Structure 1
Amino acid sequence: MERTDVLVVGGGGTGTGIVRDLAMRGLDTTLVDRGGLGSGTTGRSHGLLHSGARYAEADATGARECIAENEILREIAGECIAETGGLFVQLDADDPAYFDAKRDACREHGIPAEELTPAEAQDEVPDLTDDVERALSVPDGVIYPSRLVAATAADARAHGARILPDAPVTDLLIEDDAVVGAAVDHEVGEIRADHVVNATGAWADQLGSMAGVDLDMKPTRGVMIGVEYSDLGPVLNRCRPPDDGDIVVPHGEQVVLGTTSVAVEDPDDYEQAEWEVERTVEECAAMLPSVADAEQTRTYWGVRPLYGPEEDELGDERGISRGFFVVDHADRDGLDGFTSVVGGKLTTHRLMAEAAVDHIAERLGVDAACRTAEEQLTAHDDPDRLDALVEEFDAAGPADADVVGRR
């Protein structure tokens, strides 16, 4: 049996962010994940570093969180980030009032946003469709998730944390209405803890069920398609209400096309429908026609960790909040020593971690302040070392397979 102050279950962006923050505040911390780090949602995303523009007109809080975290990640994450910029593109079929609302909301929320003419937009992206009416230039970017989770985990380890990938939890340990640890497979055994954190994302209900709690997750799947296309430059976003096939993310010699949103009951077992691939390519080609016939290099699905306790029926999955929530199971379920962190986006993973650790630190009587926004990640400026950490932590994933380890 091992003992730790805090056991974090889940090694994606949020989980590694939490363990780093905990360790930097002086808590003895262990992280476990059933697979390699980032093997869930994080490593199967499209890797967009949001400027907040996507949410500006509909979610002021989310937009402001994104632009703040965008700027922080650019400072601390180095070669885990590509500073590409982004364009929101209004085509002739799109509502100009929606463009106006997004532009005005960006400026209201402190997101730099410059309106471009069709000629100016095509100067930035020569292959952009002739159907462009105007564009909005915003500070989007690209995250390489494999590098980010590996660097974050390595930084946590440098501050004393223990990182255990490929260590699945088989049960939570309950004593006197409190979670006191977990049973972990692959010869790890029991890990006792003063507090256990559920950072398993779309799988939060599965872990919660081990403690008899229901988190009402509403996961949705989305497809991403990597295609050969060099030198795109900025991220392309269709300037319309979120829909299938509205984003093209540059990756050096390739781009990633995304995505769909379809409800799933089991994040481990769901259909991967060909219509999603076809629709995504078709819709992305409306912005960038060259991708319609480009060679497809990889196709993968990811599952979003959407939290929808008030969503009784699914059907409009894109309407579920992309915000994050820290769920205290002592207050909600009468179960001490257990906190779940659900929802959110990769761009805001550090902020999610900070909010969770503020809560846990208060529970444990720790008053150290968060420093994760000020201190740069381990190996942040060394892509070769970052890629070695990806291999060490078994963190390679399809989202950045065309970049990581290719130097």
Structure 2
Amino acid sequence: MTVETEVAVIGGGATGVGVARDLAMRGVDVALLERGTGLNAGTSGRSHGVLHSGARYAESDPDGAADCLRENRTLREIAPGCVVDSGGLFVRLADDDSAYFERKLDACREVGMDPTRLAPDEIRERVPGIAEAVEEGFGVPDGVVSPARLVAATAASARDHGASIHTGSAVVDIDVGSDSGRLAVHVDGGPTIAADSVVNAAGPWAGEVAAMAGAQLGMRPTRGVMVAVDYPGLGPVLNRCREPADGDIVVPHGEQAVLGTTSVAVDDPDTFEREDWEVERTLSECAAMLPALADAMVERTYWGLRPLYEPDELAREGRGISRDFAVVAHDAAPGLVSVVGGKLTTYRRMAEAVADRVCGDLGVEEPCRTAEEPLPGAGDPERLDQLAREFGAVGPADSDVVRE
């Protein structure tokens, strides 16, 4: 059996459903294929859930930081029920480099973030229990986002505009050599999907998907642990203002705080080690900012994977921090477009870039409208949770808030 469509999107995380929504809103016939039984099963659903202001990337990647700031504001408009307006703080401890702090602060100003410089007593007002070693800090418009709500609402919008969503549809092969010039996507135990274009939005598995079509896509995925502890009332997202390192962020999450994270290269995104030292180091480093974390009860731990693009990573020294994204067309597989890298905050922007490329190939001239149209249930958390359950999108990142 063969199912005809204009575009097949592989991957049911934030980027994949974002691409499906954007294309469907432009009138393109789209089928989204996700190998898991629900959406949001990979990178998106295993993040720490920060809605970045861009401050984390301001000095290393100002263009990426500006993208974050714009998308932060956009998501608050189109999906307020997915976002908690926690605010964020970057704090310098006594042993941290004051010159790095000033560079970070200046870079945030350059991006247009309007950071608020804070003295130690002002920081202690905002974060009771902050370490005595805190020297200074500044406030930024970080927030906390629910990946389950965001992915499910985006998928619902895609469906409302005519896209079809197929979970439990593992792609096993992509044939690019048909006489018709169309691509044939073969699904394990399911129909063959015939499409003019295929979007590879498989995150850490994007290299494997590209290989099915005879194309190469260098990936360097890394794993990172998230440690959720019992810690109600934190307030803002707390970032340690130093060069990127393990255990430098604490995220308020309902009655919990989520601590992150590590960065360890993995060879196989389906089979990788989960080491105790990662949990211990994350707890220890985060406790340098909030000493009470050292004795807080660990409620759960989970590991996420970053879908890092190898050419970008090879160009960096040390631990990569940009998390920019790339849209890759493949000469070896005409019609296949891969999207790699990025972060949850900029998923809509990533989807727009992919849809622009695909629409250009298809001759579709409709503009992107995803930044203007609110998502279904945009301001209704109960409706958003219903959608998350309907799409099987509840993952470790917010299983404490969005109940299955």
Instruction: Pick the TM interval, shorter chain.
Output: over 0.9
Contact 1:322–1:344 (Cα < 8 Å) also in 2: yes
- The residue correspondences of 1:17-28 to structure 2 (distance < 5 A) are 17-28=18-29
Q: Which moved more, 1:81-90 or 1:381-390?
A: 381-390
Give 1:167 shift.
1.3
Question: What is aligned with 2:4?
Answer: 3
Give 1:311 shift.
5.1
One-letter identity of the residue aligned with 1:391:
R
Question: What is aligned with 1:94?
Answer: 96
Contact 1:384–1:405 (Cα < 8 Å) also in 2: no
- Deviations 1:291-317 (Å, cap 9, x if unpaired)? 11111111000010000126569993x
Contact 1:379–1:385 (Cα < 8 Å) also in 2: yes
Distance 1:243 1:374, change over 3 A: same
Give 1:405 shift.
2.3
TM normalised by structure 1 equals 0.96
Structure 2: give runs of 5+ residues left out of the alignment: none
- The residue correspondences of 1:6-405 to structure 2 (distance < 5 A) are 6-35=7-36, 36-176=38-178, 180-185=183-188, 187-309=189-311, 316=318, 318-319=319-320, 321-329=322-330, 333-405=331-403
Distance 1:311 1:46, change over 3 A: closer
Q: Which moved more, 1:347-356 or 1:168-177?
A: 168-177
Cα separation, 1, equivalents of 2:334 and 2:280: 48
Contact 2:7–2:31 (Cα < 8 Å) also in 1: yes
Q: Residue 6 of structure 2 aligns to a residue in which SS? A: strand
Q: Which moved more, 1:166-175 or 1:49-58?
A: 166-175
Distance 1:130 1:320, change over 3 A: closer
Contact 1:306–1:321 (Cα < 8 Å) also in 2: no
Contact 1:8–1:199 (Cα < 8 Å) also in 2: yes
TM normalised by structure 2 equals 0.97
Distance 1:311 1:347, change over 3 A: closer
One-letter identity of the residue aligned with 1:389:
L
Distance 1:388 1:55, change over 3 A: same
**Percent of matched pairs sharing the same residue:** 59
Cα separation, 2, equivalents of 1:365 and 1:120: 55
Cα separation, 2, equivalents of 1:78 and 1:206: 35
One-letter identity of the residue aligned with 1:385:
R
- Deviations 1:349-388 (Å, cap 9, x if unpaired)? 0000000000000000000000000011011111111111
One-letter identity of the residue aligned with 1:342:
V
One-letter identity of the residue aligned with 1:38:
N
Contact 2:5–2:196 (Cα < 8 Å) also in 1: yes
One-letter identity of the residue aligned with 2:32:
L
CA RMSD of aligned residues (A): 1.5
Contact 1:307–1:321 (Cα < 8 Å) also in 2: no
Q: Which moved more, 1:233-242 or 1:301-310?
A: 301-310
Cα separation, 2, equivalents of 1:146 and 1:222: 19
Contact 1:55–1:63 (Cα < 8 Å) also in 2: yes
One-letter identity of the residue aligned with 1:238:
R
Cα separation, 2, equivalents of 1:23 and 1:376: 15
- Deviations 1:22-76 (Å, cap 9, x if unpaired)? 0000001010111121100000010111000001111111110100000001101
Structure 1: give runs of 5+ residues left out of the alignment: none
Distance 1:320 1:140, change over 3 A: closer
One-letter identity of the residue aligned with 2:375:
L
One-letter identity of the residue aligned with 2:124:
Q
Contact 2:82–2:378 (Cα < 8 Å) also in 1: yes
One-letter identity of the residue aligned with 1:28:
D
Q: How many residues align?
A: 401
Q: Which moved more, 1:361-370 or 1:105-114?
A: 105-114
Give 1:176 shift.
4.8
One-letter identity of the residue aligned with 1:182:
V
Cα separation, 1, equivalents of 2:390 and 2:65: 35
Q: Residue 196 of structure 2 aligns to a residue in which SS? A: strand
Distance 1:313 1:272, change over 3 A: farther
Cα separation, 1, equivalents of 2:144 and 2:313: 31
Contact 1:99–1:239 (Cα < 8 Å) also in 2: yes
Cα separation, 2, equivalents of 1:315 and 1:360: 33
One-letter identity of the residue aligned with 1:6:
V
Contact 1:79–1:380 (Cα < 8 Å) also in 2: yes
Distance 1:78 1:130, change over 3 A: same
One-letter identity of the residue aligned with 2:344:
L
One-letter identity of the residue aligned with 2:109:
R
Distance 1:66 1:315, change over 3 A: closer
- Deviations 1:152-187 (Å, cap 9, x if unpaired)? 0001001111011221111112225966131112x4
Give 1:129 shift.
0.9
Cα separation, 2, equivalents of 1:399 and 1:215: 28
Distance 1:126 1:311, change over 3 A: closer
Cα separation, 1, equivalents of 2:182 and 2:206: 15
- Deviations 1:101-156 (Å, cap 9, x if unpaired)? 11111011111200000000010011111110011100000111011100000010
Give 1:189 shift.
1.2
Contact 1:307–1:320 (Cα < 8 Å) also in 2: no
One-letter identity of the residue aligned with 2:100:
Y
One-letter identity of the residue aligned with 1:8:
V
